[in-house]
């Protein structure tokens, strides 16, 4: 929890600053279709030398973009790449969703979308209804201080700012509700059978597909703004995933086909804003039945870890009306809140 004033809401969203369309992105846009382009053609389109093209190719390689160079044919991105397009995403949103956005930004490279939104809240440049998507996070964060692997142009990384006038007590179950919104969005792009692992993971089978990180800005006793971060693996390069310390998967594997990142970004944004409105009006209880249908842990033996202690073992038995995990232990049922906890399946 951080303390500070709630900043005024900024003006409605404005176009991306030109600085976001950097040199590497310009080159990548010309190679996005996966076809070969000669160095001479690329240099002519960008108004630079072929040596300049080579320099930009090197910068893209540093970002983890796989580029292929073949003598006599030029350069390509094998399989192509779909860059996020702010205007395309916005055009796919229903008017009721666009009307709720105070700011809609697309950044190329950030340290963390959650950190960026938190900074904007404290500086007064962002407020309720602000949304930020990024192509890459250099310091993406998961829960309990874990690193969120965030290669360029492969996945979805986004954060929302949403104000709750009823204070911190109104946030019980929020991460679960956002998880359900993500499951709805994923079903719309063809990903069936995605489940939720309490308190914040999207899973397909036993493999992690995405996650949610919620951080809070505001006074304990007054209105607060939740910064809601969502990360979804769309087409994770195996080489970029070597630092992931658990079983993982991506949408390409789940669906058996490539999933459009812009289409996913639009339906995810729509789904999250829709559930946030219902959550603010009705609370978590409104979603309890839906949670039961996507609960990946019910009936399984699990270990729940908090801090550096040994953890608690038991059988996951769903959740209560506030979103707390009901854990059947040898000493009876215990209720465990999300907070800084982690759940592992036993066996």
Domain ranges of the chain: 18-76, 86-291, 297-345
Element of type H or E holding 115: helix 113-123
Mean pLDDT for 229-252 is 82
Among 118, 273, 316, 95, CA closest to 182? 273
Residue 263 Ramachandran class (φ > 0 left, ψ -120 to 50 alpha, else beta): alpha
Cα separation, 344 vs 347, in Å, equals 9
Cα separation, 94 vs 200, in Å, equals 27
Residue with tokens 């009306």: 321
Give me the catalytic one of 56, 108, 208, 261.
208
For helices 39-46 and 23-31, the axis angle rounded to 10 degrees is 130
pLDDT score recorded for residue 92: 97
Give me the catalytic one of 76, 86, 103, 143.
143
> Is residue 64 scored above 80 in pLDDT?
no
Q: What is the pLDDT of residues 283-308, one digit of tens each?
A: 888 998 899 999 999 999 998 887 66
Give me the catalytic one of 14, 258, 293, 344.
344
Q: Is 50 a catalytic residue?
A: no
In contact, 96 and 276? CB cutoff 8 Å: no
Mean pLDDT for 98-127 is 94
Looking only at the bridges linking them, the beta strands covering 130-137 and 103-110 are parallel
Mean pLDDT for 316-339 is 88
In contact, 288 and 177? CB cutoff 8 Å: no
Q: Which two tokens stand for residue 25?
A: 């992105």
**CATH number 3.30.930.10 is the correct assignment for the domain at 86-291:** yes
Q: How many CB atoms lie under 10 A from the CB of residue 44?
A: 11
HSE at residue 315, side-chain half, CA atoms within 13 A, is 6
Q: In what order do the strands lie in the sheet with 195-197?
A: 103-110, 130-137, 156-164, 224-232, 207-218, 201-204, 195-197
The mean of the pLDDT values for the chain is 85
pLDDT score recorded for residue 144: 52
Residue with tokens 């086909």: 257
Element of type H or E holding 71: none
Q: Is 143 a catalytic residue?
A: yes
Cα separation, 9 vs 12, in Å, equals 9
Lowest mean pLDDT among 129-138, 208-217, 234-243: 234-243
**CATH number 2.30.30.100 is the correct assignment for the domain at 297-345:** yes
Residues forming a β-bridge with 107? 134
CA angle 340, 341, 342 (to 5 degrees): 135
> Is residue 66 scored above 80 in pLDDT?
no
Q: Is 208 a catalytic residue?
A: yes
| The length of the chain, given as a count of residues | 347
Residue of 205 and 142 predicted with greater confidence: 205
In contact, 75 and 57? CB cutoff 8 Å: yes
In contact, 63 and 51? CB cutoff 8 Å: no
Secondary structure (3-state) at 80? coil
Q: What is the pLDDT of residues 41-50, one digit of tens each?
A: 999 999 999 9
Under CATH, to which class is 18-76 assigned? mainly alpha
Among 106, 83, 291, 79, CA closest to 197? 291
Residue with tokens 């003598």: 71
HSE at residue 271, side-chain half, CA atoms within 13 A, is 20
């Amino acid at each position: 929890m951080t303390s500070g004033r709630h900043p005024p809401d900024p003006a409605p969203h404005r176009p991306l600053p030109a600085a976001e369309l950097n040199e590497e992105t310009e080159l990548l846009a010309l190679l996005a279709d996966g076809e070969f382009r000669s160095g001479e053609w690329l240099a002519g389109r960008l108004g630079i030398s072929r040596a300049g093209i080579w320099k930009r190719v090197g910068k893209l390689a540093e970002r983890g973009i796989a580029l292929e160079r073949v003598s006599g044919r030029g350069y390509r991105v094998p399989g192509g790449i779909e860059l996020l397009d702010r205007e395309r995403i916005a055009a796919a949103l229903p008017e009721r969703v666009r009307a709720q956005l105070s700011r809609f930004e697309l950044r190329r490279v950030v340290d963390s979308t959650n950190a960026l939104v938190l900074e904007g809240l404290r500086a007064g440049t962002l407020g309720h209804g602000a949304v930020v998507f990024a192509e890459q996070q250099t310091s993406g964060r998961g829960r309990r201080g874990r690193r969120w692997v965030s290669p360029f142009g492969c996945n979805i990384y986004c954060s929302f700012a949403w104000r709750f006038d009823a204070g911190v007590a109104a946030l019980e179950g929020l991460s679960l509700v956002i998880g359900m919104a993500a499951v709805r969005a994923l079903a719309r792009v063809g990903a069936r059978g995605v489940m939720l692992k309490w308190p914040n993971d999207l899973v397909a089978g036993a493999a992690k597909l995405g996650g949610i990180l919620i951080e809070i800005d505001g006074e304990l006793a007054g209105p607060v703004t939740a910064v809601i971060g969502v990360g979804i693996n769309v087409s994770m390069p195996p080489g970029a995933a070597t630092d992931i310390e658990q079983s993982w998967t991506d949408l390409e594997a789940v669906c058996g086909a490539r999933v459009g990142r812009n289409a996913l970004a639009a339906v995810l944004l729509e789904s999250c804003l829709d559930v946030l409105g219902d959550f603010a009006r009705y609370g978590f209880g409104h979603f309890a039945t839906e949670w039961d249908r996507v609960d990946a842990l019910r009936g399984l033996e699990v270990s729940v870890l908090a801090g550096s202690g040994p953890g608690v073992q038991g059988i996951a038995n769903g959740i209560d009306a506030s979103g707390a995990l009901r854990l059947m232990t040898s000493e009876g049922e215990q209720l465990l809140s999300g907070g800084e906890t982690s759940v592992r399946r036993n066996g």
